Amino acid sequence: MALAYVELSLTLDTPFLPGSADPNRVDPDWPLRPSEVKGIWRWWARALVAGALFERGLLHGEPTSSIVKVPTSEEASCISRIVGLNLELGYAGKRDSRASCIRIIINPDDQQLLPSQLITDELINIFQRIKLLTLRKSKKVKVKYRSDIDRGKVKVNPEVMKELDIEDKIEIIIKSKFKRKSRKNIFIAIPSDDVPKGEIWCNENDAKKLGINNNTVIIRAPISLEYIAVNRTIKLIIDKNPFCKLNGAAVEASLSALALALKYSCFGKGGRRGLGCFSINASGPYSKLFMMDAKELINYAVERVSKVVDSAIKDCRLKESKLDKCELPPMPVISKGINYIDCVENSEVRNSISKALNNALHPYMLIKVTGPNVLDTLHNFFLRPRRTIALLGSHHRNDDLRATYNAWVLGLPREQKNTGYMIKSSDVSRRASPFIVSVHGDRAYVSVFTSADWPTQLEWRGAGSQSISVNQGRVINAIAIALKELIDYSSKSGLQVVRVWP
Alpha-carbon radius of gyration of the chain:
26
- Same domain for 250 and 179? no
Please enumerate in sequence order all residues whose Cβ is within 8 A of that of 451, keeping only pairs 6 or more positions apart, or say none.
328, 329, 330, 331, 332, 333, 363, 434, 475
- Same domain for 151 and 238? no
> Residue 1: pLDDT band by 50, 70, 90 thresholds?
very low
Per DSSP, the three-state class of 304 is helix
Name which residue leads in pLDDT, 356 or 247.
356
Could you say which of 165, 195, 222 is where a domain stops? Answer: 222
Could you say which of 222, 257, 281 is where a domain stops? Answer: 222
Quote the pLDDT of residue 178.
53
Residue 174's DSSP bridge partners are: 183
Burial 21-39 (b: 16+ CB within 10 A, else e): eeebebbeebbbbeebbbe
- Same domain for 486 and 368? yes
Average pLDDT over residues 90-105: 83
326 falls within a domain: no
379 falls within a domain: yes
Residue-range definition of the domain harbouring residue 49: 6-117+228-315
SS3 per-residue string spanning 14-26:
CCECCCCCCCCCC
127 falls within a domain: no
- Same domain for 103 and 18? yes
pLDDT above 90 for 455:
yes
Name which residue leads in pLDDT, 75 or 413.
75
Min mean pLDDT across 61-70, 202-211, 262-271, 413-422 is at 413-422
- Same domain for 173 and 282? no
Residues 483-498 have pLDDT tens digits of 999 999 999 999 999 9
Amino acid letter, residue 365? M
329 falls within a domain: no
- Same domain for 214 and 265? no
- Same domain for 472 and 350? yes
Min mean pLDDT across 6-20, 236-250, 361-375 is at 236-250
Could you say which of 222, 243, 268 is where a domain stops? Answer: 222
Quote the pLDDT of residue 111.
58
Residue 415's DSSP bridge partners are: 420
- Same domain for 353 and 497? yes
- Same domain for 198 and 233? no
- Same domain for 179 and 48? no
181 falls within a domain: yes
Please enumerate in sequence order all residues whose Cβ is within 8 A of that of 205, keeping only pairs 6 or more positions apart, or say none.
151
Taking CA 322 as the corner, what is the angle to CA 319 and CA 327, rounded to the nearest 5 degrees?
A: 105
Quote the pLDDT of residue 206.
87
Counted domains in the chain: 3
- Same domain for 367 and 441? yes
107 falls within a domain: yes
- Same domain for 145 and 168? yes
Sheet of strand 457-462, all strands in order from the earlier edge strand to the far edge:
414-416, 419-423, 457-462, 464-469
126 falls within a domain: no
> Residue 415: pLDDT band by 50, 70, 90 thresholds?
low
- Mean per-residue pLDDT over the chain, rounded: 91
Residue 150's CATH number: 2.40.40.20
464 falls within a domain: yes
Quote the pLDDT of residue 180.
55
Maximum Cα–Cα distance across the chain: 83
> Residue 174: pLDDT band by 50, 70, 90 thresholds?
confident
